[in-house]
Structure 1
Amino acid sequence: MNKNLKRLILLFLVALLATIAWQYPKLNLISGFAAKSTASSIFIAGRSLNSVTENDNNVPLIKLAESHYDATEKKGFASVFGLMEREAVCRDGLGCVLVNGDIDVELYTQIPSRSSKHIELPYPSGHENPVDTVFENVNYKQIEKALDHVFADTVKTRTALILYKDHILAERYTSGFDASTPILGWSMTKSVLATLFGILEYQRKLSVSDPVPLPSWREDERKYITLNHLLRMQSGLAWDEDYSTISDVTKMLFKESNMAGSQAKKEVIAKPTDVWNYSSGTSNLLSGLMRTKFDDYQNYLNYPYKALIDKIGMHSMLLETDLVGNFVGSSYGWANTRDWGRFGQLYLHNGNWNGEQLFDPNWISYVTTPTLHSDGTYGAHFWLNANGKFPDVPRDMYSANGYQGQHVFIIPSKDMVIVRTGLAEDPQFNTNTFIKEILEAIQ
């Protein structure tokens, strides 16, 4: 072997070792994402390992991980080049959770009490087959063209559902998905969490103007932070929501046992309302605060399902918990596309479900009022079009949004709910064009 070749090999090895050393702290997060994604997608959504590896985990850095699972133990595993293996365990009724050495996964094994009551009404109001209705003012060929565009390979759409005047206008699913497949909503879960606070307020169990009831906050400037500030992401607490590196949010989701505590420990960087700073830590803090409203853990577990999810027939929905039993309200809500559509319908009907009022109709005004410093794009755990970010979409449109383009769009002025799920967001998935083409089909 000549000297030049030896030098090249040596340089390659040095570069490789330097890269590994530089990226090594990230391996824990990479393996964590892959293990959690693999476990949840297989054991909650019934997907195949090959499908998850080639799609959900096929993103920068995460694709370096190699994943496998144990069907008997309901566990998912992942490592990077054999390094930093992580394990995710799945529990009936609670979803899947990454294992950390400091907390025994068996400590919190109570499961929610669920109702699977069949609502004898056509979808979306109930569980009977949807009524086959043809609207004379709808150009159905144009609707199909809009779906053709959004299901192009480069757009990476998985499912789409269009509800108009309480009827299915159209729906479509890519290969491997159908109307029963649970979809991870990511941050759409935040809007579900906020809705629970709206219900609690309607039941007079809290007010969003209440100060945050944390004893550790009572002796410093954090005592001025209210639930409203948290719901609007304007608490003034530090938080770094960067998914591309080791940040507050990635450490919380893939390393923390108690995700409700991550935001609570952060320092104050501004007075409440002075800044708007999107924070998944804030949502999980709210989930932990919701837990304090119940006398025991079982009632906390039951509440989202009893008060909202099962009440409106979203029986496919599952809210995953962290290692100490808190719902991961920032990110880990699963439901099939039609059930995500039910959630939008609840808002379209101002909180009324088949004659029962779940939250005050004024709650809609609250969550859709633009938050200061958000440039008209954010309300209270819902995204807005108040500033015309999407110029061809009505300004009253608001939505639950999630990572990689999960959306429930609610358009009151058009009596419409649109659900889109996938693996790409703007610019690959163009929200404005998709909704514009749908609306242009309605005369």
Structure 2
Amino acid sequence: MKILKRALWVVLALIIVVVYLNYPKLNILAGYSAKNTASSVFVGERSLAFTDSTDNNFSPINLTTDKINRDEQWAKGSVYGLLTRKAVYRPGLGAVLVNDDFDPAAPYAVPNRYPNANLAPYPFGKGAAVDTTFSHVDYAKLQVAVDSLFAPKNKTRALVILHKDQLLYEKYSAPITKDSKLLGWSMTKSITSTMFGILQTQGGIDVHAPAPIEAWKNDERKKITIHNLLQMNSGLEWVEDYNTISDVTKMLFLEEDMTQTQITKPLVGTPNATWNYSSGTTNLLSGILRQQFASHQEYLDFWYRELIDKIGMNSMLIETDMNGNYVGSSYAWATPRDWAKLGLLYLHNGCWNNEELFTEDWVKYATTPTPTSDGWYGAQIWLNAGKRYPDVPKSMYSFNGYQGQNVFILPEQDLVIVRMGLTKNADINVFLSAVIASIKN
């Protein structure tokens, strides 16, 4: 009996040591699962069973157990019962991971929304899309390209193709439909950049001015401009690794205020000469936008009033952190059709229904390659200037997100192509070149 007791104590001690050593990992795993579950169920309006079998069904996230409370609108993620995290849904702001200090009864500001009253056909209004057949499109070739994209291994959920301002093609994997809101992940970065383009066009900011960060004023970081931040070329330290405990996973799943994380990082390179992809930089930019307004309410409203609802992306919701800052790096939800509208706005150089939201000069600026990015990156927008996709025109640019979320803009072909999925397995070069080949000159 004594030997058995000692053995049990040894096992218990080993479990305690293992939990202690892996606590940070468990914290992030449970946090990801709780947040993703709450967003999928309460923003995406999907079931818990569907979420667990699709969005959370990959290693190591599938080690977690999730549960929801629809009445109180929260989700919890637990790793073997050793650690549990909670995410709360707040109407208007989306789901947010909370800590022990969170007061669910505390009042909070929500953005005002501006519903689209335009009855014109989609994409410029909320009417039905026109049933258009283009004589210069080889639909048989197009169908072959689409079938390849929807091969089971690619896990494509949605495809929307706009051509010459019309809906050329769309397809969805059931139960996803044209009305399903899907998470764009880092496509949200391109929205954040667009807000700077709009504010600059309105005369409210100069993106070439020094970044207005008080903590940087007395050291070398004072040389960093908003332009450097938009191009991910500040020279600041940052590790963007979703497979480890890194700067980005700690920010997204541990921080109350995500606009502050990048501020504390030292210079490890030279501004304008050290490109480094950083979600922390984008959330810092969201914080800089917040500084441009006299009140938090004005900041919240600006994104919807001047962009999202103005072009009829009424399904879109950008989630906030605990402090009410838009998570401009990662958390915008919208239907695939509404994601396509953002691409169309860029295709039209910032003009929507004869109203200029931003200028053609902004589009040129945002799609100019960042120094040292090998032609891959502009101002929070991915480029093909470096021929990342060798069989696709260099003029193509895109909004890209985790797990294969994409809005491709091809100016020469007058195309906007939205692909949303659960993996990056699809050969995008082959797919895009096949779509282009289906359009006769």
Query: TM-score under structure 1 normalisation?
Result: 0.95
User: How many aligned residue pairs are there?
Assistant: 435
Alignment of 1:74-153 (within 5 A): 74-104=73-103, 107=106, 109-153=108-152
Alignment of 1:318-337 (within 5 A): 318-337=317-336
Amino acid at match of 1:166: D
Q: Deviations over 1:156-204 (max 9, x none)?
A: 0000011110111110000111111111000000000100000000000
- Distance in 2 between residues matched to 1:89 and 1:179, nearest whole Å: 26
Secondary structure at the counterpart of residue 420 of structure 2 = strand
- The answer to whether 1:184 aligns with 2:183 is yes
Identify which range, 395-404 or 216-225, moves more after superposition: 216-225
Please tell me whether the aligned partners of residues 284 and 328 of structure 1 are also in contact (alpha carbons under 8 angstroms).
yes
Q: Which residue of 1 aligns with 2:405?
A: 406
Is this contact kept in 1: 2:37–2:66, CA < 8 A? yes
Q: Where does residue 264 of structure 1 map in the other structure?
A: 263
Give the gaps of 5 or more residues in structure 1.
1-8
80-89 vs 101-110, which moves further: 101-110
Deviates more, 1:114-123 or 1:380-389: 114-123
Q: Secondary structure at the match of 1:178?
A: coil
Write the distance in 2 (CA, Å) between the matches of 1:270 and 1:178.
Answer: 45
1:5 alignment counterpart: none
Verify the 8 A CA contact 2:141 2:434 in the aligned structure 1: yes
The amino acid across from 1:37 in the alignment is N
Matches within 5 A, 1:250-289: 250-289=249-288
The CA deviation at 1:398 is: 0.2
1:421 aligns with 2:420: yes
* Shift in CA distance, 302/106, structure 1 to aligned 2, threshold 3 Å: farther
Quick check: 1:41–1:47 contact (8 Å CA) kept in 2? yes
Q: Is 2:421 aligned against 1:438?
A: no
Match of 1:6 in 2: none
Deviates most, 387-396 or 192-201: 387-396
Correspondence for 1:60? 59
Distance 1:289 1:222 in 2: 15
Structure 1 position 55, deviation (Å): 1.1
Query: 1:108 deviation in Å?
Result: 5.9
Equivalent pair of 1:99/1:105 in contact (CA under 8 Å)? no
Confirm or deny: 8 A CA contact 1:107 1:324 kept in the other structure: no
Aligned counterpart, 1:343: 342
Give the residue type in structure 2 aligned to 1:399. Answer: S
Once the two structures are superposed, residues 226-270 of structure 1 have per-residue CA deviations (whole angstroms, 9 ceiling, x without a partner) of: 000000001111000000010000000000000000001111112
CA distance in 2: counterparts of 1:203 and 1:252, whole angstroms: 31
Name the % identity. Answer: 49
Task: Give SS of 1:364's match.
Answer: helix
- 2:363 equivalent in structure 1: 364
Please report how far the alpha carbon of residue 22 of structure 1 lies from its aligned counterpart in structure 2 after TM superposition. Answer: 4.3
* Cα distance in 2 between the residues matched to 1:85 and 1:344: 39
Q: 1:10 to 1:91 in 2, by over 3 A?
A: closer
Structure 1 CA distance for aligned equivalents of residues 385 and 395 of structure 2:
7
TM-superposed deviation, 1:63? 0.7
1:143, distance to aligned residue in structure 2 (A)? 1.4
> In 2, are the aligned partners of 1:114 and 1:306 still within 8 Å (CA)?
yes
Report deviation, 1:21. 5.0
Q: Which amino acid aligns with 2:75?
A: G
SS in 2 for 1:143: helix
Deviation at 1:274, TM superposition (A): 2.3
Q: CA offset at residue 141 of structure 1?
A: 1.7
Paired AA for residue 431 in structure 1: I
Q: C-alpha distance in 2, partners of 1:10/1:110?
A: 51
Tell me the equivalent position of 1:72.
71
Displacement of 1:23 in angstroms is 2.9
> What's the CA shift for 1:207?
0.8
Contact 2:116–2:125 (Cα < 8 Å) also in 1: no
Amino acid at match of 1:432: N
Correspondence 1:365-404 to 2 at 5 A: 365-404=364-403
- CA–CA distance in structure 2, aligned partners of residues 259 and 298 of structure 1: 18
Q: Secondary structure at the match of 2:259?
A: helix
Q: Deviations over 1:315-359 (max 9, x none)?
A: 000010000010000000001000000000000000000000000
Partner of 1:45: 44
Q: How do residues 286-297 of structure 1 correspond to structure 2 at under 5 angstroms?
A: 286-297=285-296
RMSD: 1.9
Residue in structure 2 matched with residue 4 of structure 1 by the alignment: none
The residue type paired with residue 215 of structure 1 is: E
Equivalent-residue separation in structure 1 for 2:106 and 2:414 (angstroms): 46
Asked if the contact 1:103/1:257 (under 8 Å) is kept, the reply is no
